[in-house]
């Protein structure tokens, strides 16, 4: 499932477009999509098969990452939100397995949304932890590989080996914590390869810092993490990955808050 999702996301690997808050669309103007919502300056477009409830809950999940707290730097959060708006960042939502249809069209959103997006979030039939993992993972892909990349291009440049992101990722690889072998088949496309590696690393890093591995169904028996990212708690990140912990503290923690787990579990119960 994970590998299929990563390979599918390569279709959008270089999508790196949100609606101006003064814009509005009639449904007939949504092109390949049938509905949309705006969540914290990010436009979320849904295919017609997606339920209204799921679309709204994706938006609520994203908004839950923006509670106020003592670690939030309001200037950095403002910059993040204005970048989302000014660069027209968007997210797409579809129904599970529609990507397996040979006639599936990823869809083109209305102008001025164009390039600044990454992979889809799929609505999953059974809900529960698998759905939570799907939503949180792909929202964080958009957060890190699109918005933070656009807001802080030097520090979050996936193609620059000296960027804070790349150096933190290499630390995890060198220590055997981040296993990247499953992505070897992508090496022929250097830019896509680095983009996917950093995208997945940043997701695992944040998930561990949030102590969300269990909630998102990503913890394997016998370890706090899993076979791809072996540690899954904030205390382990702090003690074992100082560069990763610094990256999180310097950027993510100053912009996003840890979403309330009870809220997330309520939004996506087992069906």
Give the pLDDT confidence of 44-67 residue by residue, as tens digits.
999 999 999 999 999 999 999 999
**Residue 14 confidence (pLDDT) above 80:** no
- % of the chain at pLDDT higher than 90: 80
**How large is the average pLDDT for residues 62-87?**
98
For the chain, what is the total number of helices (H) and then of strands (E)? 11, 4
**Residue 13 confidence (pLDDT) above 80:** no
- % of the chain at pLDDT higher than 70: 90
Query: Comparing 30 with 37, which gets the higher pLDDT?
Result: 37
Q: What is the pLDDT of residue 104?
A: 83
Q: What is the pLDDT of residue 64?
A: 98
Which secondary-structure segment (H or E) carries 196?
A: helix 190-209
With bands split at pLDDT 50, 70 and 90, how would you rate the model's confidence at 237? Answer: very high
pLDDT tens track for 111-170: 899 999 999 999 998 899 999 999 999 999 999 999 999 999 999 999 999 999 999 999
Q: What is the pLDDT of residue 28?
A: 54
Q: What is the distance between the alpha carbons of residues 27 and 188, in angstroms, rounded to a whole number?
A: 40
Contact partners, residue 19, CB within 8 Å, separation at least 6: 25, 36, 38, 43, 88, 90, 113
Q: What is the distance between the alpha carbons of residues 224 and 213, in angstroms, rounded to a whole number?
A: 8
Q: Which domain does 216 fall in, by range?
A: 2-267
Residue 159: both structure tokens together = 């193609």
Q: What is the pLDDT of residue 99?
A: 79
CA 145 to chain centre: 8
Q: What is the pLDDT of residue 106?
A: 85
Residue 119: both structure tokens together = 């992979």
Q: What is the distance between the alpha carbons of residues 87 and 16, in angstroms, rounded to a whole number?
A: 9
Contact partners, residue 131, CB within 8 Å, separation at least 6: 123, 124, 268
With bands split at pLDDT 50, 70 and 90, how would you rate the model's confidence at 16? Answer: very low
Domain count, the chain: 1
């Amino acid at each position: 499932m994970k590998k299929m999702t990563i390979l599918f996301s390569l279709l959008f690997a270089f999508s790196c477009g949100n609606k101006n808050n003064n814009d509005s669309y009639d449904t007939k103007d949504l092109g390949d999509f049938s509905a949309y919502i705006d969540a914290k300056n990010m436009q979320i477009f849904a295919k017609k098969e997606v339920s209204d409830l799921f679309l709204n809950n994706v938006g609520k999940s994203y908004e839950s990452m923006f509670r106020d707290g003592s670690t939030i730097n309001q200037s950095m959060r403002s910059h993040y939100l204005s970048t989302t708006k000014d660069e027209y960042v968007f997210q797409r939502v579809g129904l599970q397995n529609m990507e397996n249809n040979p006639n599936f069209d990823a869809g083109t959103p209305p102008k001025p949304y164009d390039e600044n997006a990454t992979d889809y979030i799929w609505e999953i039939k059974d809900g529960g932890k698998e759905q939570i993992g799907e939503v949180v993972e792909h929202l964080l892909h958009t957060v890190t590989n699109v918005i933070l990349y656009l807001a802080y291009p030097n520090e979050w440049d996936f193609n620059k080996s000296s960027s804070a992101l790349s150096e933190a990722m290499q630390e995890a690889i060198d220590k055997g914590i981040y296993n990247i072998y499953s992505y070897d088949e992508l090496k022929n496309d250097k830019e896509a390869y680095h983009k996917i590696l950093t995208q997945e690393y940043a997701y695992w890093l944040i998930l561990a810092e949030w102590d969300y591995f269990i909630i998102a169904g990503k913890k394997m028996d016998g370890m706090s993490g899993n076979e791809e990212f072996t540690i899954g708690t904030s205390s382990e990140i702090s003690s074992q990955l100082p560069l990763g912990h610094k990256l999180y503290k310097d950027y993510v923690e100053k912009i996003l808050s840890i979403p309330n787990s009870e809220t997330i579990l309520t939004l996506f119960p087992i069906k």
